[in-house]
Amino acid sequence: MAFDPFRWLLGLFSLDIGIDLGTANTLVNVRGKGIVINEPSWVTIDKRTRRPIAIGVQAKEMVGRTPTNVIAIRPLRDGVISEFEITHAMLEYFISKAHQQSIVPMPRPRVVIGIPSGATEVEKRAVLDAASAAGAREVFLIEEPRAAALGAGLPVSDVRGTMVVDIGGGTTEVAVMSIGEIVVSRSLRVAGDELDQDIINYIRNKYNLFIGERMAEQVKIQIGSAYRLPEEKTMMVRGRNLISGLPESLEISSVEIRESMAGSVQVIVDTIKDALDEAPPEIVADLIETGICLAGGGAQLQGLADRLTEELHLRVWVAEDPMTCVARGAGMILEDLERYEKFLVSIDRNGSRG
């Protein structure tokens, strides 16, 4: 990248932002301040006008509680934009909120956004256009596994191979890297949301009890696991009995929840095995020493690292603060854009890079 003094001066005084635009949560990393926003990717809108009423934490609080003229939606599905105008409004809200961290007025920000490695050109352009419309001066895209690896502190530029598995709400991103490049990658649309749905389906089918997404997520966080626990747990779940139509509570065990999620967890395990099978033997040998790093909110599922360690015969470890890895990695890009330019995604848009 050629040195541009005007761009350098503007960058010096602008608010540079790294964004993990996730299906379940959006995190914003402001250069020099760290993670300043970590809110659910929910928006409540007026059903008739489709104008946003609440965004983020406030919107998620309304899920399942809205009147008939209001709906709560997540404008991203499987890690990509499904509702462009609403994603634009959500990004505008988060970028504006990040700007409030600054004491003095700043120019429009430069933004780096993480996207799934399997995103199509159309999906990439949708993210770029939404961020531009939301007020970004320059928009750069980076594949989520690269950003996660940077944020987790992996030596991605080394010759020695590294591997990261980023489990978000909508996608699981698997990448084997060496010399700053992705050697093998997999983008799987089975992740945290699918685990929540597994729990909903299991409880409905076994107990005729219909529970909401928020309750399923609480169950997953509190007693969900991918491997037997030292001490199994139980918790009360609340919902509507599908036969009587009346409210009902029941106690459910971590053993049952592990059983309910077993199919989706196995799909993730098999996808990682498949990536390892395609990796060159020299890199696989490196991974015996470096191990596999788990990032993303899904990495916090109890026993997942133990399960993977047993099945893969490799050391599997969870990154520090795994949920923020992508946002931290995206923020690192703008700290040294020239150094990390090769990590950015090229957009086929009149020959320009986004």
- Of the candidates 137, 123, 121, 127, the one whose C-alpha atom is nearest the C-alpha of residue 6 is 137
pLDDT at 7 over 70: no
Question: What architecture (CATH level 2) is domain 5-147+325-343?
Answer: 2-Layer Sandwich (3.30)
Same CATH topology for 5-147+325-343 and 160-190+265-321: the answer is yes
Q: Identify whether the C-beta of residue 224 lies closer than 8 Å to the C-beta of residue 241.
A: no
Which tokens belong to 134? Answer: 């939301």
**pTM of the prediction?**
0.87
Task: Taking residues 187-210, report their average pLDDT.
Answer: 95
User: pLDDT tens, 28-56?
Assistant: 999 888 899 999 999 999 999 999 999 99
User: pLDDT tens, 283-294?
Assistant: 999 999 999 999
**pLDDT given for residue 63 in this prediction:** 87
Which tokens belong to 229? Answer: 């626990």
**pLDDT given for residue 66 in this prediction:** 86
Which sequence spans correspond to the domains of the chain? 5-147+325-343, 160-190+265-321, 192-260
Taking CB atoms within 8 Å and a gap of at least 24, the contacts of 276-281 are 276/163, 276/176, 276/312, 278/184, 279/161, 279/163, 279/176, 279/183, 279/184, 280/183
In whole angstroms, what is the distance from residue 273 CA to residue 262 CA?
A: 16
Q: Identify whether the C-beta of residue 264 lies closer than 8 Å to the C-beta of residue 189.
A: no
In whole angstroms, what is the distance from residue 55 CA to residue 42 CA?
A: 6
In this structure, which topology does domain 192-260 adopt according to CATH?
A: Actin; Chain A, domain 4 (3.90.640)
**pLDDT given for residue 38 in this prediction:** 94
**pLDDT given for residue 348 in this prediction:** 60
| End-to-end alpha carbon distance in the chain | 14
Domain range 160-190+265-321, its CATH number among 3.40.50.1000, 3.20.20.10, 3.40.50.300, 3.30.420.40: 3.30.420.40
